[in-house]
């Protein structure tokens, strides 16, 4: 009898021990991600209490504290080498005085137009200068302003444009599928490339012609984004004085008036830029006077980084980075219909919530993770991807040891869909992994339906890609399940109305079932990437393949 009792006790103890140590499956972990768990973070982060989560504000302080608290409660370790969660980075805030800023166009010494800040143009000093005063500046239209030897494309044709104001068409050539990837916008088509090129060419200033089709958004987005205090990573003294004196956007109407004063038709000039043989066009007889004043403030913003250690001794010093930006636009200078807080529920409390929930789920299967996870909640994305850019310039781990970045920004909030879009589809091997797990869920992976808008260069994954890390941006699908036939049109309208507006709040159109399904799919794809023998790669010939190889060679 005693032996039987002993055997029974050992059996029960062994069974209990097995039950205590048995790991959850990734399927079990995925079930922890629910509509309510996702929504709960969004409700907090997009509340009026968080004041729009602007960089260097009380709202950012509350946001950072919330993220650190959540990571600590989950058991996610600090991700900084010093044992903290916080990577602080210096910012320079710049506020242009619109009432004292004017662009005046002259023809043969006579004033033909005095442009107004905000309604006609947006501009800012680019050298951390408090005042800009330029007289009789010459202008030259350089088309797209692109130099791309791999496509045998040079818009400058050897013309010396130093000391002149360069006028650019936005975007890049899209008429030929064999160059610039056809309709898909490359970095050549981004406004940031134009300003960087103006600096390289020694220009006095740079003006981008805004049209809604070439920008991908209306003038109101330019006005709201650039009209408020803008931020940049603070440069050292040696960086001052090396850039053009100003950068600017002109409305389509202002641009038309500028070209008309020179005896040119704006739309004919925009069309001419698509020709490989385009030659820079001087705006003869036209001169520009520029007056601007700006004030500056030193401040800092913060990235929050958590870490979940891998268990494979051969792979745990390799990393998968999840990223989401935690910031938004803060408080509007003037209320809109009585509301002055840019709550940023969709952009990007939804992505921040998703990364938190992915971290919580992966913590449940941590004993099965071969590589290490870094969860990065980056700041100042709305000001030019500054938090992720700072990390890319000051990486806490070697970029060659990072297998991939999955960036979550503005998630699916309008219900389940049969598809999930990948911005960056086909550019690296992450596409294959996502396709496998989408098919297992009875879904399909779709290409970006608006490649001409260059979304690959408009969120934080771009900062990681620039240092060679294979990056992907999972985005919402459009093949909705059990929704009205006109649901895509409705949701497009809602997104457009709420983008960078005080109305970006949880509303009656939200259906969290789609976000739940997408985040669960992303989780499973990530689990696969973490545990594969091989690292992710760019496809041969991709623009980031060379820099990837450079970092791999350093290891």
Please state the rounded mean pLDDT for residues 65-87: 98
For the structural domain made of 94-294, what CATH number should be given?
Answer: 3.50.30.30
Q: Provide the pLDDT confidence category of residue 242 given band limits of 50, 70 and 90.
A: low
Decide if pLDDT at 70 tops 90: yes
Please state the rounded mean pLDDT for residues 248-264: 97
User: What pLDDT shows up at residue 239?
Assistant: 41
Q: Provide the pLDDT confidence category of residue 236 given band limits of 50, 70 and 90.
A: low
Q: Could you tell me if 93 and 60 are in contact, meaning their C-beta atoms sit under 8 angstroms apart?
A: no
**Helix pair angle (513-531, 350-363), 10° resolution:** 50
Please state the rounded mean pLDDT for residues 335-339: 93
Q: Could you tell me if 140 and 283 are in contact, meaning their C-beta atoms sit under 8 angstroms apart?
A: yes
Quote the tokens at residue 233.
């990573």
User: What pLDDT shows up at residue 248?
Assistant: 97
pLDDT in tens, 396-449: 999 999 999 999 999 999 999 999 999 999 999 999 999 999 999 999 999 999
Please state the rounded mean pLDDT for residues 379-383: 93
Decide if pLDDT at 6 tops 50: no
- Top pLDDT among 467 and 183 is at 467
Q: For 418-448, give one letter per residue: b (16+ CB within 10 A) or e.
A: ebbbbbbbebbbbbebbbebbeeeebebbeb
Please state the rounded mean pLDDT for residues 142-154: 94
Decide if pLDDT at 16 tops 60: no
User: What pLDDT shows up at residue 23?
Assistant: 64
Q: How far apart, in whole angstroms, are the C-alpha atoms of residue 423 and residue 383?
A: 21
pLDDT in tens, 446-497: 999 988 778 899 899 999 999 999 999 999 999 999 999 999 999 999 999 9
Three-class SS state of 194: helix
Please state the rounded mean pLDDT for residues 235-263: 82
For the structural domain made of 31-75+309-554, what CATH number should be given?
Answer: 3.40.630.10
Nearest CA-CA partner of 50 in 293, 313, 329, 250: 329
Domain with CATH 3.50.30.30 in the chain: 94-294
User: What pLDDT shows up at residue 20?
Assistant: 39
pLDDT in tens, 283-320: 999 999 999 999 999 999 999 999 999 999 999 999 99
User: What pLDDT shows up at residue 231?
Assistant: 82
For the chain, the average pLDDT equals: 92
- Top pLDDT among 141 and 177 is at 141
Quote the tokens at residue 379.
């700041």
Decide if pLDDT at 387 tops 90: yes
Three-class SS state of 30: helix
Three-class SS state of 189: helix
Decide if pLDDT at 532 tops 50: yes
State the SS3 of 251-316. Answer: CHHHHHHHHHHCCCCHHHHHHHCCCCCCCCEEEEEEEEEEEEEEEEEEEEEEEEEEEECCCCCCCC
Decide if pLDDT at 7 tops 60: no
Decide if pLDDT at 11 tops 80: no
pLDDT in tens, 88-138: 999 998 999 999 999 999 998 899 999 999 999 999 998 789 999 999 999
User: What pLDDT shows up at residue 515?
Assistant: 98
Q: How far apart, in whole angstroms, are the C-alpha atoms of residue 512 and residue 519?
A: 11
Q: How far apart, in whole angstroms, are the C-alpha atoms of residue 397 and residue 205?
A: 37
Domain with CATH 3.40.630.10 in the chain: 31-75+309-554
Q: Provide the pLDDT confidence category of residue 180 given band limits of 50, 70 and 90.
A: confident
Based on the number of CB atoms within 10 Å of its own CB, is 387 exposed (0-12), middle (13-18) or buried (19 or more)? buried
């Amino acid at each position: 009898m005693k032996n039987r009792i002993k055997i029974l006790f050992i059996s029960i103890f062994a069974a209990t021990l097995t039950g205590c140590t048995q790991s959850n499956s990734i399927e079990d972990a995925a079930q922890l991600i629910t509509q309510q768990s996702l929504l709960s973070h969004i409700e907090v982060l997009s509340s009026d209490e968080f004041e729009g989560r602007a960089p260097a504000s009380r709202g950012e302080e509350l946001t950072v504290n919330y993220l650190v608290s959540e990571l600590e409660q989950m058991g996610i370790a600090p991700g900084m080498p010093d044992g903290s969660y916080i990577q602080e980075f210096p910012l320079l805030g710049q506020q242009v005085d619109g009432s004292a800023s004017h662009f005046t166009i002259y023809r043969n010494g006579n004033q033909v137009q005095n442009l107004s800040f905000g309604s006609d143009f947006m501009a800012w000093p680019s050298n951390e200068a408090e005042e800009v005063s330029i007289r009789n500046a010459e202008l030259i239209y350089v088309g797209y302003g692109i130099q791309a030897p791999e496509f045998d494309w040079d818009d400058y044709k050897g013309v010396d444009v130093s000391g002149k104001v360069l006028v650019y068409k936005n975007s890049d050539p899209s008429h030929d599928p064999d160059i610039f990837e056809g309709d898909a916008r490359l970095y050549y088509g981004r406004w940031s490339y134009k300003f960087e090129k103006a600096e390289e060419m020694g220009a006095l200033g740079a003006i981008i012609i805004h049209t809604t089709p070439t920008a991908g958004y209306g003038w109101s987005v330019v006005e709201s984004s650039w009209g408020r205090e803008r931020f940049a990573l603070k440069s050292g003294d040696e960086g001052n004085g090396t850039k053009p004196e100003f950068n600017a956007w002109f409305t389509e109407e202002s641009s038309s008036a500028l070209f008309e004063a020179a005896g040119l038709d704006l739309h004919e000039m925009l069309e001419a830029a698509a020709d490989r043989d385009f030659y820079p066009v001087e705006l003869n007889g036209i001169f520009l006077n520029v007056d601007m004043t700006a004030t500056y403030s030193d401040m800092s913003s913060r990235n929050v980084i958590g870490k979940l250690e891998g268990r494979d001794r051969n792979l745990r010093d390799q990393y998968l980075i999840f990223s989401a930006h935690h910031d938004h636009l803060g408080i509007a200078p003037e209320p809109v219909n009585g509301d002055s807080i840019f709550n940023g529920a969709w952009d990007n409390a939804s992505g921040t919530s998703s990364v938190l929930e992915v971290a919580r789920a992966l913590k449940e299967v941590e004993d099965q993770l071969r590589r290490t996870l870094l969860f990065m909640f980056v700041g100042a994305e709305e000001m030019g991807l500054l938090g992720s850019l700072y990390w890319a310039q000051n990486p806490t781990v070697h970029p060659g040891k990072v297998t991939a970045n999955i960036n979550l920004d503005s998630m699916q909030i309008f219900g389940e869909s049969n598809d999930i879009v990948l911005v960056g589809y086909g550019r690296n091997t992450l596409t294959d992994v996502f396709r496998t797990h989408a098919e297992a869920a009875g879904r399909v992976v779709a290409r970006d339906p608006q490649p001409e808008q260059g979304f690959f260069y408009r969120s934080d994954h771009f900062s990681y890609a620039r240092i060679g890390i294979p990056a992907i941006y999972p985005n919402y699908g459009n093949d909705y399940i059990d929704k009205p036939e006109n649901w895509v049109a409705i949701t497009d309208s809602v997104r457009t109305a709420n983008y960078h507006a005080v109305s970006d709040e949880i509303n009656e159109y939200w259906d969290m079932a789609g976000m739940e399904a997408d985040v669960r799919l992303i989780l499973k794809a990530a689990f696969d990437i973490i545990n594969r023998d091989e690292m992710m790669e760019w496809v041969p010939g991709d623009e980031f393949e060379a820099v990837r190889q450079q970092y791999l060679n350093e290891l």
